Amino acid sequence: AVGWAQAIIYRQRVLREDDWQGAIVAALGGDGSTAANGFWATLNIVTTLQLPYLFFIEDNAYGISVPSSLQTPGGNLAKNLASFSQLRVLDGDGTDPINAAGQIDQAVSHVRGHNGPALLRLSVPRLTGHSFVDNQSYKAKDVREAEAARDPLPKLKAYVIANAIMTDDEWAQLEQQVERQVRTACERVLAQPDPDPATATRHVFFEGAAIAASRPHPTEPGARLNLIDAVKRTLEAELSANPRLLIFGEDVGVKGGVHGATTDLQSKYGADRVFDTSLNEDGIIGRAAGLALAGLRPVPEIQFRKYADPATEQINNIGTLRWRTLGKFAAPLVVRVPVGMGRKTGDPWHSVSGEAVHVKSLGWRIAIPSNAEDAVGLLRTALRGHDPTFFYEHRALLDTAPARRPYPGDDYMLPFGVANIVQSGDDLTVITWGLMVHRCVEAAQGRGSIAIIDLRTIVPWDKSTVLQSIAQTGKCLIVHEDGVTGGFGAEIAATVAQEAFFDLDAPIVRVATLDTPIPYNAGLMHAVTPTVEKIRAEMEKLLQT
């Protein structure tokens, strides 16, 4: 919702769309929802940016069986937020027709009047349990009786009759009409046939035409870009081509990103399009979802792969949105994430690759380029595509020679799911991606006829190219930086074993990071991660098998 609120301002102020004038966001939640991280992330964003956002909190004093006194100090969120800067806070009785209507009118008028966000807490009873198996036995009898006495419907009936808005007969007729409507709707739903089981796997991804590949057209023959400069140049080209594209994250604005990918972009395109966020990944990704749903193309940056973990719930919700709505809604966005070990040192937080976790985030595409040219083509495809995408930028390739390539032009695009055969061979197939591509190339020098396949994307991954190569070589080595247990290499190995077993002349071998955190010390880091020497040793064993 906070992303949608920001999109309202953007579409008014930047895109000059008059039909968004006066629009506001109303986000409805219970008291339990205000204990979650997302609430506090949103609260900080809407107040610092003064967005047209209304928190509408129905406080029934319980989160399932947990009383609000164990979720909110003192049990009243409105009192706690009374001094919260740049937030209008209102508190009322949700069972009183006059009080509730008046409070709602004040809150909506405040937000719609460009006065910033508001929070309205209305106290209401919870007359039934959280679910049909919840009999509320955890409530004392006097508590349940007091709640029943606050039932808002009898209060509303008494008010409209006392003020001659309706008669007793008219109220009875309204009740009968509503009951008929509900029963008719229920019967209509029950009469629907069960869905076709064959459709269960549809709408996980966009089902339209795939983006076609284009040929590179270097604009500066001979000049070779670092991978990070290729990313920046692609972002800048797409910012110029698409006024709905926004780039944001921690340190992305004035600083230009901790890795320099957004240097000077804010000064060129303004703070509405390239901007800093609070240090809250849950808020960054959640905001991106709302911006995408509002028709913009958000490109959030998460500074390091491990830092995406706090946003896991948002990530999962974004990925399943198209499937959950039968293809009617989707949130296409591109999350840029620097990943992997550093050139000189490591650590358990900044040096994580961790792609296997995101592979299980259904509905997300994942690109892991090994060089500047592929980075341009894959990033542009993601930015013009229709699915949420993780775009991994390996830290050890950002400004190092192995990844440098000429800039392939402002229209260059690479389709996902098409691997690059780095070198052909007849004796051994090596499957890899990211930094490991270059280590495999180095390890293979002077050692037989070795095919090296750079997957480039792992969701989807190019299974057909892999299987064709194994059918020719009969041997398979999988190399990746993520942990060996449950790494994506295990999925590839299982597929090869299932679909190419009779083509194999030797066991499938994996070289990957050991099941340990990435150490700080360079020597220890090399001890647990795939090095050229380790890869070469496994190549030689397979070639001799």
Place of tokens 């549809």: 202
- Calculate the alpha carbon distances from 366 to 313, 431, 524 in Å: 18, 16, 29
Query: How crowded is residue 87: how many other Cβ atoms within 10 Å of its Cβ?
Result: 18
Distance in angstroms (rounded) separating the CA atoms of residues 458 and 466: 12
Considering 110, 259, 350, 480, which one is annotated as catalytic?
350
SS3 content of the chain, % helix, strand, coil (to 5): 45, 15, 40
User: How many other CB atoms sit within 10 Å of the CB of residue 169?
Assistant: 8
Backbone angles phi, psi at 293, to 5 degrees: -65, -25
Place of tokens 């040096």: 351
Q: What is the three-state SS of 264-327?
A: CHHHHHCCCCEEECCCCHHHHHHHHHHHHHCCCEEEEECCCHHHHHHHHHHHHHHHHHHHHCCC
Q: Which residues contact 40 (CB under 8 A, 6 or more apart)?
A: none
Whether residue 341 contacts residue 394, with contact meaning beta carbons closer than 8 Å, is answered with no
259 is catalytic: no
> CA of 153: how far to CAs of 92, 94, 181, in Å?
17, 11, 18
In whole angstroms, give the CA distance from residue 345 to residue 436.
17
Residues facing 450 on adjacent strands: 428
Active site residues: 350
